[in-house]
Structure 1
Amino acid sequence: MSKNSDSKPFSDWNGTPPASSYWDGFFEYHANDIYSPDTNNRTVIWTGQDADFTGLDTSYWMKLDSYQSGSRNLEWVNYEYVTYYLNRHTIEAMYHQLDLSAALHGEAKRWFMGIDLSKRAGRRKGYGDLAAFSICAVLVNKKSKERDYHPNQLDENKDPYFRRVELCLDSALGFDKSSIRKSYGEYEAEYRKKLVLDYSYQRFERAEKFHPMPPGEEGGI
Structure 2
Amino acid sequence: MCRAILPLATTAAMLVAQYFIWVYAPEEMTMGLVQKIFYIHLPLAWWALVCFAGVFAGSIMVLVRNNHPAWDAFAAACAEVGVLLCGLALVTGSLWARSAWNTWWTWDPRLSTALVMWFVYAGYLILRGSGLGGASSTRICAVLGIIAFLDVPLVFFSARMWRSIHPAVFASQSGGLEPEMLVTVFVSLAAWGLLTLTLVLARWRIVRYQALMDEITLLGH
Same fold (TM over 0.5): no
Higher helix share: 2
Q: Which has the higher contact order (CA 8 A, sep 6+)?
A: 2
TM-score, reference length from structure 2 = 0.30
Bigger Rg over Cα? 1
TM-score, reference length from structure 1 = 0.30
